[in-house]
Amino acid sequence: MHVVTKILVVFCAVLSLLLAALTMAYAANAGEVRAAFKAEEAQKLAAIAVKDDVVSQANSQRADDQKKTDAATQLANGRQAEITNLQAERTELRTQVEQLKAASEGINNRIVQLSAAVDTQAEIIKNYRDEVTKLRDEGLAASRREIELVDRINDLESQVEVTTANVRALKEQLAEAQLALQTAKDGGNKAGDGVIIAAGPLIQARVLEVFRSPAGEAMAVISEGSNRNIKKNMELNITRGDQFIGTLMVVTVEPQKAVGKINTFGKPVEVKPQDMILSRLQQ
Amino acid sequence: MGQFGMQLPGGQMHRGASMNVYTGLLFLAVIALAAASIFVYLNAGKVGKDGQPLQLQEHNKISLKDK
């Protein structure tokens, strides 16, 4: 065997031993490292699970915190709005307080002015009272005088009424005298028949009713009587418009009406209610 | 006299050992073993305790060399 071959054999043996030792150590260490790696991996998975749980809890907690934060924010916003409103209200109240102070000062000033005015008015009222008292006394005196004058006027009016009644009676007496005088002057049949011709103021009346007497004479009731100075045997004229119809000889007189005999002088006319009765045909 | 290289008559001719095919195979084996050893040494150093290829790791106490 060649020496080189021997050397190579020796090297081969040594290298084989070395390789075997290295291989065993490598294998053992690789196994340990692999086991450790598995353990670490398991721990990692457990840690990841724990982390996920923690993250989930953290998310839940964060969601709750977010809700609480939102609620707190909303509450804070509400509080802020309320604060703003309260500040505005406070400002308004301050303004009102200032206004009320100013009004109070104005009222005080006005009270002072009114006090002065009251004093002045009291003095004026006092003067007025004195003057009114004076005027009342004067008025009372004037009233007394007026009463006296009224009494005097009433006396005079009574005297005037009496005088007027006397004048009216005298006028009636004068009218009757004139009528008697005229009748005497006429010397006619009427005076002899006792027929009275109305004198004085014009007498107007209306025919109320037309009827026949038991003797068959046409009779009429008129709307005026002794109140208008209509007397028995007075002859009145019956007209309708501008037409003369006849005469009415009064036979019965009452205060508010009279009854008379109709005379149409043979004319074919008929007296109707509402025909006019006149004491004379000319004004 | 043979040790002097003398060819003695009647003497068997002495010839030296020479390299043959096994020598070549051994050489290749040595080369392969050396390469494998180097490779395993380098990788065993990566997993060995404190970077030592022949040191064993303790259980649940792995210690690697920091690079």
Using the beta-carbon criterion (under 8 Å), do B37 and A32 form an inter-chain contact? Answer: no
3-class DSSP assignment, residue A42: helix
Residue A190 confidence (pLDDT): 47
User: What tens digit of pLDDT does each residue of A22-33 get?
Assistant: 999 999 999 998
Residue A83 confidence (pLDDT): 93
Number of C-beta neighbours around residue A30 at 10 A: 17
What is the average pLDDT value for chain A, to the nearest integer? 89
Element holding A240 (H helix, E strand): strand A234-240
β-bridge mates for residue A263, sequence order: A247
Which of A6, A10, A12, A43 has the highest number of chain B CBs within 10 A, making it the mutation to test binding with B? A12
| Cα angle A95-A100-A105, degrees, rounded to a multiple of 5 | 130
Residue A189 confidence (pLDDT): 45
Lowest model confidence (mean pLDDT) among A25-34, A52-61, B2-11, B45-54: B2-11
Nearest to A29 among B18, B19, B44 (CB): B44
Residue of B nearest to A26 (CA): B44
Q: Which residues of B touch A30 (CB under 8 A)?
A: 47
Say if residues A230 and A253 touch (Cβ distance below 8 Å): yes
Residue A173 confidence (pLDDT): 83
Most confident of A79-83, B3-7, B19-23: A79-83
| Residue among A254, A250, A277, A253 nearest A194 (CA) | A250
User: What tens digit of pLDDT does each residue of A167-211 get?
Assistant: 888 888 887 788 777 767 765 444 445 778 877 788 899 999 999
Q: What is the mean pLDDT of residues A132-139?
A: 93
Q: Which residues of B touch A29 (CB under 8 A)?
A: 44, 47-49, 56-57
User: What tens digit of pLDDT does each residue of A39-71 get?
Assistant: 989 999 999 999 999 999 989 998 998 999 899
User: What tens digit of pLDDT does each residue of A66-113 get?
Assistant: 999 899 999 999 999 999 999 999 999 999 999 999 999 999 999 999
Element holding A206 (H helix, E strand): strand A204-212
Work out whether the CA dihedral A52, A55, A61, A66 comes out positive or negative: negative
Residue B13 has pLDDT above 70, yes or no: no
- Please give the ipTM for the structure prediction: 0.77
Say if residues A277 and A206 touch (Cβ distance below 8 Å): yes
User: What tens digit of pLDDT does each residue of A245-256 get?
Assistant: 899 999 999 989
User: What tens digit of pLDDT does each residue of A200-247 get?
Assistant: 788 899 999 999 888 888 999 999 998 888 988 999 999 998 888 899
- pTM greater than the 0.90 cutoff: no
Using the beta-carbon criterion (under 8 Å), do B18 and A21 form an inter-chain contact? Answer: no
- B32 — pLDDT class (breaks 50, 70, 90): very high
Rounded Cα–Cα distance for residues A11 and A19 (Å): 12
The tally of CA atoms less than 13 A away on the side-chain side of residue A188 is 9
Q: Which residues of B touch A2 (CB under 8 A)?
A: 17-20, 23
Residue B2 has pLDDT above 60, yes or no: no
| Cα angle B60-B61-B65, degrees, rounded to a multiple of 5 | 135
- CB proximity list for A251: less than 8 A, separation 6 or greater: A219, A232, A233, A259, A260, A261
Residue of B nearest to A36 (CA): B60
Residue A168 confidence (pLDDT): 85
